[in-house]
Amino acid sequence: MLKVLLALAALVPFAALAAGFVFTEWKTAQFETVYPNIGTRTDIGGYALNSVDLPAGSDADLPPIVFIHGASGNLRDQLFAFRKPLEGRARLIFVDRPGYGYSDRGGAENDTPAGQADAIARLLDKKGIGRAIIVGHSLGGAIAASFGVRHPDKTIGLLFLSAATHPWNGGVDWYYDLAATPVIGTIFRYTMLLPVGLDRIDSGSRAVFAPNPMPRDYVAETMPGMILRPGAFYANAMDVSGLDAFVRTMAQQYRQITAPAVIITGDSDDIVAEEIHSVGLKRDIPNSELLWLKGVGHKTDYVANGLAVAAIEKLAGKPRDLAGMAADFHVPGQPQAAAAN
């Protein structure tokens, strides 16, 4: 595939590449004007992580909670899902992972979930947060699991939402490998990616939610198109293309996790194979609970938001019958969900 793409790139007129570069620079600036940084950049040792830090209210009943977004996202994704049901109940930290949103990428250590977990741990130190509940969606689940292994003293509990955490058979979409390739990947990211990718923002977002409906304001509120900026997509490509190799080693350490964990997954997830990742987490984390939801796809953070909040409450020590809630869970127009495992 790469040889074919190299041959095609050689046929693209220089003028077309130049036009793509100019358009990419203009559109990147437009993105950042329409969607300015709503967080605060914090230096964590030579580079900055960006985060939205919402304070606990006077009647807060939960400990600090950290939200880690998945691939192709930014902090707005989890902020849009969890701000309304949780604001005031706890100190809420929504993080742009290294290289995403308005965070710097940092060094090569951040090419792995372990390095990103360490970066988030340093951010918590800077913010004076000793311990927190860590919530990871999709690829953010690999960072959450790494956090639990590497920073047990900072981990109250772990919530995995449609997490990607274990090795799988097969590769990733071709454009991730291409974008991470030296030279030709740079040309691709700075000239072709954004003009082509713009047409797929809405359809791609709907595909991530499938078979469930996407919230009407999701694209406008979370702006997934920000990932098409060349630097952000490079970080994304490095993370996605390197994930399988990383978890082949890291998954062997999940048995070291001592914090309680809740794993929520849909049985209709076409993005992450739940029978590999979620089942693997249940097998590997000693104190864990797996909740299966029938007819639910990849966006359990939105489609099963109430159950996710209840899981956070349980990790905080509150009595919650998560298995019963999962058994009673309904997606509109679909039959009752399967019971939890």
Using CA atoms, how far apart are residues 114 and 236, in angstroms rounded to an integer? 15
**Nearest Cα to Cα of residue 82 among 281, 340, 337, 307:** 307
pLDDT given for residue 21 in this prediction: 77
Token pair listed for 5: 């793409």
pLDDT given for residue 174 in this prediction: 84
Q: Please determine, for residue 156, whether its predicted confidence score (pLDDT) is greater than 50.
A: yes
Query: Which CATH fold topology does 15-328 show?
Result: Rossmann fold (3.40.50)
- How sure is the predictor about 13, in pLDDT bands with cuts at 50, 70 and 90? low
Q: Please determine, for residue 67, whether its predicted confidence score (pLDDT) is greater than 60.
A: yes
Task: Identify whether the C-beta of residue 271 lies closer than 8 Å to the C-beta of residue 72.
Answer: no
Q: Please determine, for residue 172, whether its predicted confidence score (pLDDT) is greater than 70.
A: yes
What are the helix and strand counts (H, E) for the chain?
15, 8
pLDDT given for residue 170 in this prediction: 82
Q: What is the pTM of this model?
A: 0.92
Query: Whole-number mean pLDDT of the chain?
Result: 92
Give start and end residues of each alpha helix (H) in 180-304. 184-187, 193-197, 201-209, 218-222, 230-250, 277-284, 300-303
pLDDT given for residue 82 in this prediction: 98
Q: Is 229 helix (H, G, I), strand (E, B) or coil?
A: coil
